[in-house]
Structure 1
């Protein structure tokens, strides 16, 4: 009986700790499941760069579209995306 109580307590503690990390804004997984590789540059309002971390080994690029406000994950290997990122980094270093 004591062993079952300890197991239940540890399980509840682990679940609660995981929920509190999510509530604090800690990202526990990658944001992007699918990525877009076709050029949509003229439709982009803003771009968010999320570096790789312990929770997601991929660098993620999320674009917000002008007309709809929809967020689209971009393919980091697409040539046009590389150009956009290079332009952003060049402007940042000025």
Structure 2
């Protein structure tokens, strides 16, 4: 009669403890990252600007002042379609739109 097949060796206690500790640390780190407030990017968000957006397609406008993250003023338009587009803050159309928004008290 043949002997019963050998069971694979169970992981040793120290190895099992290290694995469990590693999993707990990864879980804690992922929960912290998920619940942490989003930090702003430390670089310019607008690498290129677009031309030819009709003012009626703009739902919201966000103006980011120059600072340590970026040396230039950035104008980010949220379109009614939900897309975001960077506008040239020096463009006459953008200046006019910003002035109109400020005079109406609807600035964002």
Does 2:89 match 1:76? yes
**Alignment-derived partner of residue 52 in structure 1:** 66
Question: Matches of 2:75 and 2:103 in 1, distance apart?
Answer: 17
TM-score normalized by the length of structure 1: 0.66
Q: How far 1:24 moved relative to its partner?
A: 4.7
> Which sections of structure 2, spanning at least 5 residues, go unmatched?
1-32
Q: How many residues align?
A: 71
Q: How far 1:90 moved relative to its partner?
A: 1.6
Superposition RMSD in Å: 2.1
Pick one of 32, 36, 47 that aligns with 1:33: 47
Question: Matches of 2:93 and 2:38 in 1, distance apart?
Answer: 35
Higher relative contact order (CA 8 A, sep 6+): 1
Give the structure with the larger helix fraction: 1
Moved segments of 4+, more than 3 Å? none
